[in-house]
Structure formats: C-alpha cells, structure tokens
Amino acid sequence: AKRGLPSVPQLTTLNLSGNSIGPEGATEFARMLSENFPASLTRLEGIDLSQHLEAMKLPSELPTRDNEDIINYLRIVKKVGVKMPIAKIILTGPPWAGKTCLVHRFVHNRFLKERKMTPGMSLKSWKVPMTDDLEFMFYDLGGQPVYATTHRLFLHTRACFLVVWNPKAETNRLDRVHEYVRDLLDVVPDALLTFLTTHADEGAAELSESEVDALREK
C-alpha cells in the first residue's frame, strides 16, 4: 500500500468513508500520504488530515485548513519543495508601550515621532539585510483590551513573542502586563516570552530583582 498511491497516476479522488481503519490506521495513512503523495490527487474524503499533522510532519499552522488546502500544500512540496525563511514575531502588551515604534525602527531604520494607537493589529514585514531572503513578519497587536479576544486568533502558531511595556506609564503597571501574559499563555502554554521595557531614555525605572522574579512566577 505504501507504494500503491504514487503508482496510480490518474488518481484524483479517494473516499475512505466506511473503512474500518481506526485512529491508528488513519494516522498511518496520513503519514504514508505525506511521504508518497500522488500528484494527481485533488480530493480526499473520510479522514480529516488536520488531525494528523504531527505524523505528516507538517507545520502546526495547518489545523485551521481543510483537506483541500493540505493536499494543495503536499502537491507544492512534492513539485518544487517549500522554502519559508520567515520569522513571525508577535508583539503584545499594554497600549502606548512602544510596540509600533519598535517595529517602525526595525522596518524603516528611523524613530517614529508622531504615532497613533494601533487599531486592532498592524502587520509589517522586514527583509533582514545580508541574508538569503530571510524575512521578519511583525504582528503588532494593539494593546486595547477590547481587541484581546480577536488577538487570540493570531496566537495559534509558532512565533517569537515579545511582551512590551513602558514602566513609566500608569496603564503599563506590572499587574496589567501579567494580564497580557496570561492571555497569551492560555493560548500557547509553551510559548517562550521575551520581556522588553521601553522609554529608557526618558528615565523609565528598571525592574527590581523581586519584580523580575514575580514576573517569572506569574
């Protein structure tokens, strides 16, 4: 069977409905399909491929896709291979922390003097100089609490997470920062977080060791 699928050059539709292969059989079939994908296949029924991404060694971003999308992805991989030199960086934290200014500095290499509060989310890309097409994709999440629920939709992915806040701002109190961290970890429990304080040039106080320890614990 492992060699059977690719040996059927005209196979376009495969329906596994009613087959008693069970969960383990479905996982094995999905793995086999990813390793020996028949390029002519366009439709698969009776199995949800998004439930077997780990066995298929596919990106974790794909669970929101249906079988057609996953099959198209496998077809591209088989035909030309896939190179995705993109690093996704998600910035979260209270409003007016400096997230947008930080992204602007990366992308345009200059300080953003006049700015408005980010409405919802801002998406910016930056091609890293002196690399082979390495690109950073910045997801600048607006800090207003009203957007917290919507932001969860963008957290189900592999990414670098930056928690940004301004220690001088009343709206950026450490307990408020904890709220953003908890929201993030509720969605991505194993996320590795980098904490970044801003406005150091304006005399923003550094965190004490006890505050840093409390942040780690929470």
> What phi and psi, each to the nearest 5 degrees, are found at residue 180?
-65, -40
**Does the pLDDT of residue 61 top 80, yes or no?**
no
Pair (202, 102) in one structural domain = yes
Pair (70, 167) in one structural domain = no
- Containing structural domain, residue 116: 86-217
Tokens encoding 23: 């969960």
Query: Using alpha carbons only, what angle is made at residue 65 by residues 19 and 20, rounded to the nearest 5 degrees?
Result: 10
Average pLDDT over residues 78-106: 82
**Does the pLDDT of residue 179 top 80, yes or no?**
yes
Q: What is the DSSP letter of 134?
A: -
pLDDT in tens, 200-215: 777 766 667 777 677 6
**Does the pLDDT of residue 1 top 50, yes or no?**
no
Pair (40, 105) in one structural domain = no
Cα 142 from Cα 64, distance rounded (Å): 24
- Please state at what angle helix 209-217 crosses helix 174-187, rounded to 10 degrees: 30
Count of C-beta atoms within a 10 Å radius of residue 175:
8
- Looking at residue 162, its pLDDT comes to 92
- Looking at residue 156, its pLDDT comes to 62
Whether pTM exceeds 0.85? no
**Does the pLDDT of residue 2 top 60, yes or no?**
no
In Å, how far are 18, 91, 161, 194, 211 from 154, measured between CA atoms? 36, 11, 12, 18, 29
Pair (59, 141) in one structural domain = no
Rg value, the chain, Cα: 23
Residue 107 CB contacts under 8 Å (≥ 6 apart), including other chains = 124, 125, 126, 138
Side-chain half-sphere exposure of 135, counting CA atoms within 13 A: 11
Tell me the residue length of the chain.
218
Pair (98, 67) in one structural domain = no
Q: How confident is the model at residue 3 (pLDDT cuts 50, 70, 90)?
A: very low
Rounded to a whole number of angstroms, the distance between the first and last alpha carbons of the chain is 51
Domain boundary among 80, 98, 122: 80
Residue 19 CB contacts under 8 Å (≥ 6 apart), including other chains = 25, 46
pLDDT in tens, 15-29: 888 777 788 888 888
Average pLDDT over residues 141-153: 79
Residue with the two structure tokens 């596994």: 16
Average pLDDT over residues 150-176: 77
Cα 54 from Cα 8, distance rounded (Å): 26
pLDDT in tens, 114-133: 777 887 888 888 888 877 77
**Does the pLDDT of residue 90 top 50, yes or no?**
yes
How many structural domains are present in the chain? 2
- Looking at residue 80, its pLDDT comes to 64
Q: What is the DSSP letter of 20?
A: -
In Å, how far are 109, 142, 170, 197 from 205, measured between CA atoms? 26, 24, 13, 9
Q: How confident is the model at residue 9 (pLDDT cuts 50, 70, 90)?
A: low
Pair (68, 118) in one structural domain = no
Supply the CATH number for residue 160's domain: 3.40.50.300
Average predicted confidence (pLDDT) for the chain: 80
Is residue 53 in some structural domain?
yes
Pair (140, 66) in one structural domain = no
